[in-house]
Amino acid sequence: MMPRLFISLGVVISICISCDEGGGMSGGEPVIELLAPTTLTISNLGQNSFRVEWSSVTGADFYEVTIASDDLFDNTVSPYNELRENSTGLNVSNLEMSTEYFIRVRTVIDDQRSDYSITQTVTTLSEPDGEPDIALKEVATTFKVGMAVRASRLNGLHAQILEKEYNSLTSEFEMKMNIMYPRQGDYDFSKADAIVNYAEEHGMQVHGHALIWHAATPSWVENFAGTDQEFEDMVKDYITTTVSRYRGRVVSWDVVNEAFADGSGNLRNSVFLQRMGPDYIKKCHEWTRAADPDVLIFYNDYNMVTDDTKRKAALSLMDEFIRDGVPVDGFGFQMHIAYNGPSRSRIQSAANEVIDRELLLHFSELDVRANPGNDLSSLTDTRAEAQKKKVKEVVEVYNGIPDQYKFALTVWGLRDDESWLLDFWGQADWPLLYDKNFALKKAHTGFVEALQ
Ligand code: G3I
């Protein structure tokens, strides 16, 4: 009889009770049998890489990981041949795409090796639809390429693609007032911190977006219980606190976003205009500069190519600022556009109006609707080609401006199904560079071709 006694040191001790032949050491001396990890989990699967994690074994000195291209482990993949790993996970890279790999792990304690774990298999991703897998930041040599991110998506395949493609991040909504200052006197920078920390860890810049925006103003600010002077003091405190916190870490801020009303050229009738008067934008720019003398200050708005009245009004304000020495460094065209417009020539001439003023130009929120007329239920090849052409035009225009006015071209999200446009318009669309399965689209190729 050979009862097994489990103890907590990652070993199984077999005790020979009846002490007959061959069953164990004489005199009941224990036979130590090391445990191997019991589960292996694959994540971050890409075309050339993945991550493997395994269950820990208590007392393990380290683990040995072997990866092979055959299930007998005859053809191991260098350097993963009994590779020593002290933690319980390993990032595996430099693999072939569309290839099946076999992984096993064993435990080492005091120079004793366990049996191997069960074998885990994984197949690396293929290159989808023949679109070339060329990283945007590798071909954009004279400006940063950015993406809108959420703190909850800085992991897995999102992070893998982000780190491969982009060198600039914009927070999609977590660096706005309603998230960072939800209650009076009570700041919450947890999500903003996560994004800024991630960017720093991965050598990316952060474009701050957006300190003041009528559509992301917390209700306590909308219904502020205090005098106009107290309101202004509160806004100054918020801008000073926020910009100081990220001083030297956030390279630029959209200070006031979308201050102008559509079509009229008037300032939008926001609570900031009502409480502080028309000088509120100037004051917000000045408080930003005071809190971080080196930060780049942007004004950012939508329909800047198509709404001539709004663009001219916003640029007139920039002219006043430049004339009066009010800080402003750049101008953001959001670029929420469609496959069928605006035309390249309109984009070009609107861009020229910004660089004529010697301001930096940011194409700050690019997405290209493929289904503005709601005539498609799935993205056709023809429409994908048309979308690609528009993306290529946008990038060609941006790349063609003089280098000293370039800042970044930022895409507003990663995968089609994550775009704000789906909820906003309540209809199907595919406005981004990756499809819902993380596959590269023709639109991505259009971006790349514009820079090659
Ligand atoms: O409030 C909850 C938050 O507590 C929670 O953690 C989160 C979890 O998903 O949901 C939050 O609501 C989010 C909301 O912003 C907060 O304000 C929504 O999910 C989120 O989708 C939402 O929309 C964002 C919107 O701005 C408002 O901030 C969009 O994602 C973002 O794409 C959109 O971006 C704007 C630009 O900033 C300015 N230009 C236009 C563009 C599109 O509207």
Q: What are the chain's domains?
A: 4-33 (no CATH), 35-123 (2.60.40.10), 136-451 (3.20.20.80)
Bridge partner residues of 62 (DSSP): 108
CA distances 325 to 255, 289, 352, 381, Å, are 16, 12, 22, 50
3-class state of residue 53 by DSSP: strand
Place of tokens 């996560």: 194
**pLDDT, tens digit only, all 452 positions of the chain:** 333 333 334 444 333 333 333 333 334 455 557 899 999 998 888 788 999 999 999 999 999 999 999 999 999 999 999 999 999 999 999 998 888 999 999 999 999 999 999 999 988 877 655 899 999 999 999 999 999 999 999 999 999 999 999 999 999 999 999 999 999 999 999 999 999 999 999 999 999 999 999 999 999 999 999 999 999 999 999 999 999 999 999 999 999 999 999 998 999 999 999 999 999 999 999 999 999 999 999 999 999 999 999 999 999 999 999 999 999 999 999 999 999 999 999 999 999 999 999 999 999 999 999 999 999 999 999 999 999 999 999 999 999 999 999 999 999 999 999 999 999 999 999 999 999 999 999 999 999 999 99
Q: Is 173 in the pocket of ligand 1 (CB under 6 A)?
A: yes
CA atoms within a 13 Å half-sphere pointing along the CA-CB vector of 311: 20
Burial class of 219 by CB neighbour count within 10 A (0 to 12, 13 to 18, 19+): exposed
To the query of whether residue 365 is one of the catalytic residues in this protein, the response is yes
Best probe residue, ligand 1, of 298, 304, 420, 424 (max atoms within 8 Å of C-beta): 420
Query: What are the start-end ranges of the H helices in 217-370?
Result: 219-222, 228-245, 271-276, 280-291, 308-324, 344-355
Nearest CA to ligand 1 atom 2: 179
The two structure tokens encoding residue 280: 């509120």
Place of tokens 């989808």: 128
Bridge partner residues of 73 (DSSP): none
Q: Are 191 and 179 contacting, i.e. CB atoms less than 8 angstroms apart?
A: yes
Whole-angstrom distance, CA of residue 16 vs CA of residue 12: 13
pLDDT value at position 240? 98
Q: Is 194 in the pocket of ligand 1 (CB under 6 A)?
A: no
Q: Are 101 and 65 contacting, i.e. CB atoms less than 8 angstroms apart?
A: no
Q: Is 178 in the pocket of ligand 1 (CB under 6 A)?
A: yes
Whole-angstrom distance, CA of residue 157 vs CA of residue 417: 15
Transcribe 100-128 into DSSP letters.
EEEEEEEEEETTEEPPP-PPEEEEPPP-G
pLDDT value at position 16? 34
Whole-angstrom distance, CA of residue 348 vs CA of residue 398: 8
Whole-angstrom distance, CA of residue 218 vs CA of residue 227: 17
Look up residue 270 and give its amino acid.
S
The two structure tokens encoding residue 389: 């052409």
Out of 64, 165, 174, 258, pick the active-site residue: 258
Q: Are 254 and 300 contacting, i.e. CB atoms less than 8 angstroms apart?
A: yes
3-class state of residue 199 by DSSP: helix
Q: Is 371 in the pocket of ligand 1 (CB under 6 A)?
A: no
Contacts of 234 (CB under 8 A, 6+ apart): 184, 221, 224, 226
The two structure tokens encoding residue 427: 């209809």
User: For residue 175, how many other CB atoms are within 10 A of its CB?
Assistant: 28
Whole-angstrom distance, CA of residue 235 vs CA of residue 221: 9
Q: How far is the centre of ligand 1, averaged over its atoms, from the C-alpha of 173 (Å)?
A: 5
Whole-angstrom distance, CA of residue 269 vs CA of residue 303: 18
Q: Is 367 in the pocket of ligand 1 (CB under 6 A)?
A: no
Best probe residue, ligand 1, of 173, 256, 333, 363 (max atoms within 8 Å of C-beta): 173
CA distances 76 to 4, 53, 115, 217, Å, are 35, 19, 18, 57
How does DSSP classify residue 325? T
Q: Is 216 in the pocket of ligand 1 (CB under 6 A)?
A: yes
pLDDT value at position 127? 63
Q: Are 327 and 286 contacting, i.e. CB atoms less than 8 angstroms apart?
A: yes
User: For residue 420, how many other CB atoms are within 10 A of its CB?
Assistant: 16
Whole-angstrom distance, CA of residue 344 vs CA of residue 286: 35
Whole-angstrom distance, CA of residue 113 vs CA of residue 85: 14
Whole-angstrom distance, CA of residue 253 vs CA of residue 242: 11
The two structure tokens encoding residue 213: 């925006």
